[in-house]
């Protein structure tokens, strides 16, 4: 005859515990860690290429590359001169904290200012796994439809920033910046929204200012 034991343990607890350790590590070192999430092709790698090149003289930055849409993302990022490490998700739909621990072990973290994590292109799963980051940053491109925040509420609900990318294509698509922003604000009234075009560089100045203030806030804390 079996006995029944009540335990109540969260299935995600191992990841949450590791994420907590990573958070402590980033706090101790004063590193700003950002978790970038979007659909495949929204422009995460393009945003990183621009940001790493433009802020090169200002910050020491590195990238953990988990996006497997193309195998050359890490190479594209490394071409800017920043450190980049590709993690193997083995076809998985998200990064978890143990992969971040492994990646950090091979990066030179001394004097690091900002660590970017490019998550796997997926609007659902990455939002559920904390990586010890300070902020989640979501990207939505104007070719995807302005109802995305409504369809994938968790990701936008948890993000501190939403970048609306590919604004150079606005004249050719049926996308309302206002509608997308309104949906996102309803999910998260404090979300910062920046329309940008990583192709032309338009709008990136506001994103860079946000990065500077987030970095300054982290250093002081």
Partner 1 sequence: MHELSLIESMLSIIREEKAKHGMDRILRVRVVNGALSGAVSDALAFGWECLTQEGDLQGVALEITDAPLKVVCGACGKPFEPEDKHYMPCPACGEILGHTVTSGKELYIEEIEADIPEDGEPATGV
Residues lying near Mg ion in the complex (CB under 5 A): 44-45, 67, 73
Q: Which of 183, 131, 178, 138 is nearest to 158 (CA)?
A: 138
Distance CA 42, CA 22 (A): 27
Nearest 5°: the CA angle 98, 101, 104 is 150
The residue among 68, 101, 62 whose CA lies nearest residue 85 is: 62
CA R_g for the chain: 18
Would you count residue 57 as binding partner 1 (CB under 8 A)? no
Q: Is 169 in the site for ligand GDP (CB under 6 A)?
A: yes
168 binds ligand GDP (CB under 6 A): yes
Q: What is the DSSP letter of 133?
A: -
Check residue 150 for interaction with partner 1 (CB under 8 A). Answer: yes
Q: Output 43 or 149, the one with its CB closest to ligand GDP.
A: 43
Residue among 40 and 111 whose Cβ is closer to ligand GDP:
40
Q: Does 12 bind partner 1 (CB under 8 A)?
A: yes
- Classify residue 171 as exposed, middle or buried by CB count within 10 Å of its CB (0-12, 13-18, 19+): exposed
Distance CA 26, CA 20 (A): 10
Strand partners, 140: 164
Q: Which is nearer to partner 1, 84 or 99 (CB)?
A: 99
Q: Which of 24, 58, 102, 128 binds partner 1 (CB under 8 A)?
A: 128
Provide the minimum distance between the beta carbon of 71 and Mg ion in the complex, in angstroms, as a whole number: 10
Provide the Cα torsion 91, 104, 115, 147; round to 10°: 20
Q: Vertex 191, ends 187 and 197: CA angle to 5°? A: 115
- Verify binding: residue 206, ligand GDP, rule CB under 6 A: no
Residue 178 binds partner 1, judged by CB under 8 A: no
- x/- binding map, residues 58-87, to partner 1, per CB under 8 A? ------------------------------
Residue 186's binding partner among partner 1, Mg ion, ligand GDP, none (Cβ under 5 to 8 angstroms by kind) is partner 1
Residues that bind ligand GDP (CB under 6 A): 38, 40-46, 67, 69, 121, 165-166, 168-169, 197-199
Residues near partner 1, by CB under 8 A: 1-15, 92-94, 96, 124-125, 127-128, 150-151, 153-154, 183, 186-187, 189
């Amino acid at each position: 005859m079996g006995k029944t034991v009540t335990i109540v343990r969260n299935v995600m607890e191992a990841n949450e515990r590791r994420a907590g350790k990573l958070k402590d590590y980033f706090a101790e070192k004063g590193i700003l860690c950002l978790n970038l999430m979007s659909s495949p092709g929204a422009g995460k790698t393009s945003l990183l290429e621009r940001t790493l090149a433009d802020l090169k003289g200002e910050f020491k930055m590195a990238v953990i590359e988990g996006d497997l849409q193309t195998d050359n993302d890490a190479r594209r990022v490394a071409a800017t001169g920043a450190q980049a490490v590709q993690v193997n998700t083995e076809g998985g739909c998200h990064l978890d904290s143990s992969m971040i621990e492994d990646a950090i072990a091979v990066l030179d973290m001394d004097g690091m200012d900002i660590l970017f994590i490019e998550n796997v292109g997926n609007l659902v799963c990455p939002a559920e796994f904390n990586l010890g980051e300070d902020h989640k940053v979501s990207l939505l491109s104007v070719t995807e439809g302005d109802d995305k925040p409504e369809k994938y509420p968790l990701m936008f609900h948890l993000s501190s920033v939403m970048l609306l990318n590919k604004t150079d294509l606005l004249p050719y698509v049926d996308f309302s910046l206002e509608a997308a922003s309104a949906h996102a604000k309803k999910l998260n009234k404090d979300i910062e929204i920046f329309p940008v075009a990583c192709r032309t560089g338009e709008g990136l100045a506001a994103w860079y200012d946000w990065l500077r203030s987030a970095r300054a806030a982290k250093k002081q804390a």
